[in-house]
Structure 1
Amino acid sequence: MNSHKNARLTFEGRKLLIERIAAMGLMPAAEAAGISQRTARKWLQRFELHGLDGLYDRSSRPARTRTGLDEALRQRIEQLRRARMPMRRIATTVGRSVATVSRLLARLGLSSLKVLEPLKPLVRYEREAPGELLHMDTKKLGRIERIGHRINGDRTTRSRGAGWEFAHVAIDDHSRAGFVQMYEDERKASAVAFLQAAVAHYAALGVTIKRLITDNGSAYRSRLFAKTCQALGIKHTFTRPYRPQTNGKAERFIQTCLREWAYGRTWNTSDERTAWLPAFLSYYNARRPHSALGYRPPASRLGGNNLLQLN
């Protein structure tokens, strides 16, 4: 028995109550125990019916509930749900409350109709050689003027109006070799400048970029960007609208950059964060193990000795 600290009666107290009732009567025994006559009579009746076992606490769970579901009804509800019937309609059909049906479907893992949809197979691809496909994307980062309240807990140090800066990222589909530069914006001039810098960077590694994939941002859709790709001899393709998985390698590379560089430590200023970018890229490309490459660094898939260029 787990009685609360202010309980009037415990098991031993109920035994004493029965003894007092036998000695002095119901009303005096109830007054001596500090309980009502109704409560004293309840424990006396339980003692007369069950003996000392009747003085223990009973479970508060009801013996029967109106909303109980037998096995046949549970199976019927599951079948109706798997037939994609809405929850409220199921409740009306089987004659139970929505709450009862909802609890059963939650236990079965069928609360959402999405679980009934067949899983689409993952389509993974990888080009056979470096340079066959380059992924590009951008990520907006807040400028850092000083250490903010999220680090020191002092809200008076919040930097209002600091603005934004943009990380333009590129990653080779085959080798996973990454390249990042910071720009003031993500407009077409910055996108073109980054593309030219990325092509020159990979050329220094002995990699010729043949094809490029980006999202449908206005900078990548601009005529200037298209002419730059044409001048560089690069075929430019776009991802499907609202389908970032098509450019998944760039999206994943951005998450790694955020976790291990941009948000990986406390920066005093944005300039300090940008100054550490080359060191991070050197580590990522030359030493960091990549799960998609058998836990080898991207440099292992580049032809020739590229460690000097990547370090």
Structure 2
Amino acid sequence: MVHRNASLTPTGRLRLALCVVEQGWSLRRAAERFQVSHTTVARWVGRYRQHGPAGMNDRSSRPHHSPNRTSPEVEALVVMLRQEHKIGPVRLSVRAGVAPSTAHAILRRHGVPVLAACDRATGEPIRRYERATPGELVHVDVKKLGRIPDGGGHKVLGRAQGRANQVRTAGGGYLCLHTALDDHSRLAYTEILPDEKAATCAAFLRRAHAWFASHGITIERVLTDNAWAYRKTTWHTTCTDLHITPRFTRPWRPQTNGKVERFHRTLLDEWAYHQPYTSETQRQAAFPDWLDWYNYHRPHTGVGGNTPASRGTNLTEQHI
């Protein structure tokens, strides 16, 4: 890459060198013609005579010798501490006795990815994937959410009164958010249901299948965790009726279903806990508008800043 302040590109340097070497121009004449200094002309002419056209490219500014570079023993210690404890440069610097910037440079030299790109449990780089077409794989999961009693929960009334309102007789307890999210487009279909029983999950899948079909998407596979509701005959029978192949995540590996898990986190941040609601009815009334915003209008970083609907088939009404 040519330096942004460079007077000459590799092609211009070659022309300059050829004028001097092949056509016999003087250094002064070449400097005036190409609007550079005499030393610049001499440099590129010398490199051309020594290396030919290949010498016209920029060289690395990296020094030939680095006597103050961190010793291999310290670098090995930093990498070992990172692998064992899965900590970042700041904490590594304290344990290894180097500056945080040095610890960061060591990790980069050894090709160690940043913590955000690694699995928290194993420390291994996360392998990201995306299906090629909508409907090829749909992630299904359930998220429990505490109900808001009439009059408000702890965000409105404070912790003490909020705890008193958590009992079922006061309108507390839990509800279940059932979500089906398309792997390719991130298009989401969510229902707020009272439980996660096998019959409830199977009925939700039928409605989700119909909703995606209305958007021109045919579900081919569904990926769920190993909850008992998805292992029941009811779920398998429903999948067979809808010509859907059921798939399951590895035990204790929720990352496999991470896209719907991340959607639920977005849902909690931007809808469920976005403002202090005074009742569950008020919160649920705001949900359809938020889901419409997510599918049709909200830029999604996972699909290049586009909307989920923009990756669907014949979907309109989306804009940023």
Normalised by the shorter chain, which TM-score bucket?
0.5 to 0.7
**CA 250–149 in structure 1, closer or farther in 2 if over 3 Å, else same:** closer
Mapping 1:110-189, distance limit 5 Å: 120-145=124-149, 146-153=151-158, 155-158=160-163, 159-161=165-167, 162-189=172-199
Cα gap change, 1:137 to 1:154, in 2 (>3 Å): closer
Secondary structure at the residue paired with 1:307? coil
Alpha carbons 1:216, 1:241 under 8 Å: kept: yes
CA 1:104–1:181 in 2, change beyond 3 Å: closer, same or farther?
Answer: closer
Give the Cα separation in 2 of the matches to 1:166 and 1:133: 22
Contact 1:148 1:155 in 2 (8 A): no
CA contact (8 A) 2:155 2:276 kept: no
RMSD: 3.1
For structure 1, the 5+ residue unaligned runs are 1-73, 86-101, 110-114
Unaligned runs of 5+ in 2: 1-69, 82-92, 101-106, 114-123
The verdict on how the C-alpha distance between 1:293 and 1:105 changes in structure 2, with shifts beyond 3 A counting, is: same
Runs of 4+ in 1 over 4 A off after TM superposition: 74-85, 106-109, 115-119
Residues 130-279 of structure 1: pairs in structure 2 closer than 5 A = 130-145=134-149, 146-153=151-158, 155-158=160-163, 159-161=165-167, 162-279=172-289
1:37-87 superposed Cα distances (whole Å, 9 cap, x missing partner):
xxxxxxxxxxxxxxxxxxxxxxxxxxxxxxxxxxxxx979848856969xx
CA contact (8 A) 2:139 2:180 kept: yes
CA gap of 1:265–1:80, structure 2 versus 1, over 3 A, is closer
Please tell me whether Structure 1 or Structure 2 has the larger radius of gyration of its CA atoms: 1
Compared CA separation, residues 128 and 157, structure 1 to 2 (3 A): closer
Residue correspondence of structure 1 range 16-35 to structure 2 within 5 A:
none
Residues 80, 181 of structure 1: alpha-carbon distance in 2 compared, 3 angstrom cutoff: closer
Q: Identity percentage over the alignment?
A: 40
Q: Deviations over 1:273-311 (max 9, x none)?
A: 122211111111110001122211111111214439x9x
Distance 1:151 1:237, change over 3 A: same
Residues of 2 paired with 1:184 and 1:153: CA distance? 26
Whether 2:96 is the aligned partner of 1:105: answer yes
The count of corresponding residues between Structure 1 and Structure 2 is 219
Structure 2 Cα separation of the partners of residues 106 and 185 of structure 1: 53
TM-score scaled by length of structure 2:
0.60
Q: State the one-letter code of the partner of 1:234.
A: I
